Amino acid sequence: MPDEPLLTEVVDGVSTLTLNRPDALNALNGELRRELTAAFKAAARDDATRAVVITGAGRGFCAGADLRGGSEERAFRAVLTNEYNPLIAAIRSLPKPVVAAVNGVAAGAGVSLALAADLVVASEGARFVPAFNRIGLVPDSGLARVLVRAAGRHRAFEILMGERELGAGEAHDLGLVASVVPADRLAGAARELARRLADGPTIAIGLTKRLLNGAEDATLDESLAAEAALQDVAGRTDDHAEGVAAFGEKRDPRFGGR
């Protein structure tokens, strides 16, 4: 495999981003963080991309921050503010669906990265290791927020303290992982899921992401108002017209993402 830290391929509307530092279990150094953020921003602009898959090369998904990264990594506030946070925000705000194919261990910010995706598919051997506590750090890149909502405060604390590793099955039980598949079927399963989403009404899917992002903190009134505003946008898309026409003609819709 070439030496680039991030491999990118667009096929059938699906952009696959492969973290490619397998000898370090795809740990995030500065170059990889910046390339990843740029890739998500590029996916937002690219009309040929209607869904994104993120996965790791080799036996790991992502081992979090590169612990061999030297002093660059120790400027915590600056690195988080300027690199990790924009990466997570770029995934969450991307108006296209993101599928994480977790092919092995995810640790530290690698867990945060996986859980920033809209859907997570994991191989049977995948594990989610918060790891922050093991090296005297606090969870970052949005992990505390995701875990406390999915698992509740007490279980989130237990997981973050590393009392036990979170296997793919338990992550599935907590609703963090959509499906768990044998390792040799993971890439195909994630690609197929992403391809189905890429064939969907892309603008409405992007607006759905925006609604969900807002709904996490919104009052009922705010949610209802946001739905009315965004439905007004979705309702004027070609995809809405096509969906209604397909219903009337008793056929499957052919969404063009416009």
Residues contributing to the site for ligand T3D (CB under 6 A):
24-25, 27, 63-68, 73, 76, 79-80, 105, 107-109, 129, 131-132, 135, 137, 140
Amino acid at 28: L
Q: How far is the CB of 84 from ligand T3D (least distance, A)?
A: 6
Q: How far is the CB of 6 from ligand T3D (least distance, A)?
A: 16
Q: How far apart are CA 1 and CA 67, in angstroms?
A: 23
CB of 215 closer than 8 Å to CB of 143: no
CB of 88 closer than 8 Å to CB of 67: no
Main-chain dihedrals φ then ψ at residue 123, nearest 5 degrees: -80, 160
Cα angle 134, 90, 92 (rounded to 5 degrees) comes to: 80
Q: Give the pairing type, strands 166-167 and 127-129.
A: antiparallel
> Based on CB atoms, which residue is closest to ligand T3D, 65 or 159?
65
* 82 DSSP assignment: I
**Cα dihedral 204/205/211/216 (nearest 10):** 170
Q: How far is the CB of 37 from ligand T3D (least distance, A)?
A: 15
> Based on CB atoms, which residue is closest to ligand T3D, 98 or 160?
160
Q: How far is the CB of 114 from ligand T3D (least distance, A)?
A: 12
> Based on CB atoms, which residue is closest to ligand T3D, 50 or 127?
127
> Based on CB atoms, which residue is closest to ligand T3D, 64 or 201?
64
Nearest to 112 by CA among 50, 159, 179: 159
> Based on CB atoms, which residue is closest to ligand T3D, 14 or 65?
65
State the sign of the Cα–Cα–Cα–Cα dihedral 75, 91, 159, 211.
positive
Q: How far is the CB of 192 from ligand T3D (least distance, A)?
A: 28
Q: How far is the CB of 52 from ligand T3D (least distance, A)?
A: 21
> Based on CB atoms, which residue is closest to ligand T3D, 75 or 245?
75
